[in-house]
Chains A and B, each alone.
Chain A
Amino acid sequence: MVGRIKANGALNAFITVAEDLALEQAKAADEARAAGAARPLLGVPIAHKDIFCTAGVRTTCASRMLADFVPPYDATVVEKMRAAGCVTVAKTNMDEFAMGSSNETSYFGAVRNPWNQDRVPGGSSGGSAAAVAARLVPGATGTDTGGSIRQPAALCGVTGLKPSYGRVSRFGLIAFASSLDQAGPMAQTAEDCAHLLAAMAGFDDRDATSLDVAVPDFVAGLRGDLKGLRIGIVKEHFAEGVEPRVLAVLRDALREYEGLGARLVDVSLPNSGHAVPCYYVLAPAEASSNLARYDGVRYGYRAEGYRDLEDMYKKTRGEGFGPEVKRRIMIGTYALSAGYYDAYYVKALKLRRLIADDFTRAFEHCDVLAGPTSPSPAFALGVKNTNPVSMYLNDIFTIPINLAGLPALSLPAGFVDGLPIGMQLIGRYLDEGRLLNVAHKFQEVTDWHARVPAGF
Chain B
Amino acid sequence: MDWETVIGLEVHAQLKTRSKIFSGAPTAYGAPPNTQANVVDAALPGTLPVLNREAVRMAARFGLAVGATVHKRSVFARKNYFYPDLPKGYQISQYEHPIVEHGRLTIVTDQGEKVIGITRAHLEEDAGKSLHEEGEGVTGIDLNRAGTPLLEIVSEPDMRSAAEAVAYLKVLHTLVRYLDICDGNMQEGSFRCDANVSVRPRGATRLGTRAELKNINSFRFVERAIEYEVRRQIALISGGGTVRQETRLYDSVRDETRSMRGKEEANDYRYFPDPDLPALVISAAFLDEVRAEMPELPEAKRRRFGEEYGLSTYDAGVLTASRELARYYEDTVQAAGVDPKLAANWVTGELAARLNEAGLEINAARVSPVALAGLLRRIADGTVSGKAAKDVFEAMWAGAGDADTVIAAKGLRQVSDDGAIEEIVRQVMAANPKQRSQYQAGEEKVFTFFVGQVMKASRGKANPAKVNDILKRLLRD
Contact = CB atoms under 8 A, between A and B. Distances in A.
A292 interface: yes
Interface residues of B, number: 28
A53 B44 CA distance: 10
A22 interface: no
A208 B89 contact: no
Interface stretch (A6-14, A68-76, A82-90, A233-241): A68-76
A53 B40 CA distance: 13
Interface in B250-309: 268, 270-272, 275-278
Contacts of B87: 293, 297-298
Interface string A166-195: 000011111101110000000000000000
A313 B82 contact: yes
Contact of B45 (A174, A206, A295, A309): A174
A59 B39 CA distance: 15
A171 B276 CA distance: 10
B416 interface: no
Given A61-B45, A292-B89, A178 B84 contact: no
A209 interface: yes
A207 B272 contact: no
Nearest to B139: A309
A175 B43 CA distance: 11
B268 A338 contact: yes
A46 B376 CA distance: 79
Contacts of A205: 50
B226 to A, nearest CB: 30
B419 interface: no
A205 B50 CA distance: 8
Interface in A269-303: 285-286, 288-289, 291-293, 295, 297-299
A209 B45 contact: no
Given A208-B51, A293-B89, A297-B141, A66 B276 contact: no
Contacts of A177: 275
A297 B50 CA distance: 24
A208 B272 contact: no
B123 to A, nearest CB: 14
B46 interface: yes
B71 to A, nearest CB: 18
Interface string A348-371: 000000000000000000000000
B270 A337 contact: yes
Interface string A330-355: 00010011100100010000000000
A178 B274 CA distance: 9
Q: Which of B44, B45, B49, B51 has the most CB of A within 10 A?
A: B45
Interface of B is mostly: loop
B48 interface: yes
Contact of A289 (B44, B47, B80, B268): B80
A128 B228 CA distance: 65
A179 B275 contact: yes
A55 B223 CA distance: 53
Given A313-B82, A345-B272, A293 B43 contact: yes
A209 B278 contact: yes
Given A293-B87, A298-B141, A313-B82, A208 B49 contact: yes
A130 to B, nearest CB: 23
A71 B84 CA distance: 20
A208 B48 CA distance: 8
B50 A285 contact: no
Interface in A136-172: 170-172
Contacts of A299: 42, 44
A207 B141 CA distance: 27
Nearest to A207: B48
Nearest to B85: A297
B439 interface: no
Nearest to A61: B45
Interface in B33-65: 39, 42-51
Contacts of A52: 46
A72 B90 CA distance: 23
A289 B270 contact: yes
Given A208-B48, A288-B80, 10 more contacts: A53-B45, A69-B45, A71-B45, A171-B46, A175-B45, A207-B50, A209-B276, A299-B42, A313-B82, A336-B270
11 contacts: A53-B45, A71-B44, A170-B48, A175-B45, A179-B275, A207-B48, A208-B48, A292-B80, A292-B89, A298-B42, A341-B272
Interface of B: 39, 42-51, 78, 80, 82, 84, 87-90, 141, 268, 270-272, 275-278
- Going nearest first, the 7 A-B pairs with the smallest beta carbon separation are A292-B89, A179-B275, A178-B275, A336-B270, A172-B46, A174-B45, A293-B43
